[in-house]
Amino acid sequence: MTFGTYDLSEWCETSSSFEYVYPTPTIKTPNDSIKLFADKMCIPQNSAEIKRQRLNMHLEKSLEQFSATLITGRAGTGKTTLAADFARQFGRNVAWYKAETSDSDWKVFRSYFAESLRQSKLDCKPSEVFGIEQKDETNSLSITESLAAQFAALETEKPLLIVIDDLHSVFDAEWFPEFFNALLSLRPQGVQLLLVARTAPPFPLWRLRSKQILGVMDEKLLAFNLEETTELFAHYGLGLKAAQAAHKLAYGRIGKLKQIAEERAVE
């Protein structure tokens, strides 16, 4: 059997043959020191069944009013879907980065963040990354300097939306408090920040909120109202009574509502 020039590790044995499994696209930083997975810097393609104009309008106003907006909610509350739908209709450059626990190393996080800014103009296509000098320090000065350099390198002909999804994945990182404060304080004109997490960061936010620096959209705001639930169930061919019953059971959580709708639709 001929495997050609493919790496044998990328072949998967089935019951009677071998199938080639295409690897996830990656981006290599200078000196191949860190591999960046390109799909973490792409806006998710799954879209909401219904357009939630109520939340889109609220989010747009929040981004205009505050330096940054934080969307919080447990898994299944629709926060990432809302952010992705808004980003797709933003009509301007979007830098998307989905953080993971493995990004708690500052060098890794910084590389992803820098590349997501660059990819915002490239339609999220994997490519070689030009060097941002890697420093070993993780103190607040190095973080501030790094962000300042990245923002200074931005050449924005039109406004830029920066989205960091699953930001809670790095809350426990030692460098996170300094990064969070530097991110909000160094934000250039024409750049809007949208942060998505399951909870708020583990430190007080009241100063940022009182100074109109940070706006928060919480789980209560994300919850589907009865009108939205009815529209969602109509999408599955279900009527008002089914929507009303599900709304009481799910308390407006989109994940639970979709589960109920899918189960009822096949009955």
Decide which of 129 and 100 is more confident.
100
**CA dihedral sign, ordered 253, 101, 39, 149:** positive
* pLDDT, position 223: 95
What's the rounded Cα separation, in Å, for the pair 74 and 22?
Answer: 32
Q: What is the pLDDT of residues 233-243, one digit of tens each?
A: 999 999 999 99
Of the candidate ranges 10-14, 25-29, 82-86, the one whose mean pLDDT is the lowest: 10-14
User: pLDDT class for 122, splitting at 50, 70, 90?
Assistant: low
Rounded to whole angstroms, the Cα distance separating 252 from 76 reads 10
Report how far Cα 99 is from the mean position of its chain's Cα atoms: 7
pLDDT of 68 strictly over 70: yes
Average pLDDT, the chain: 83
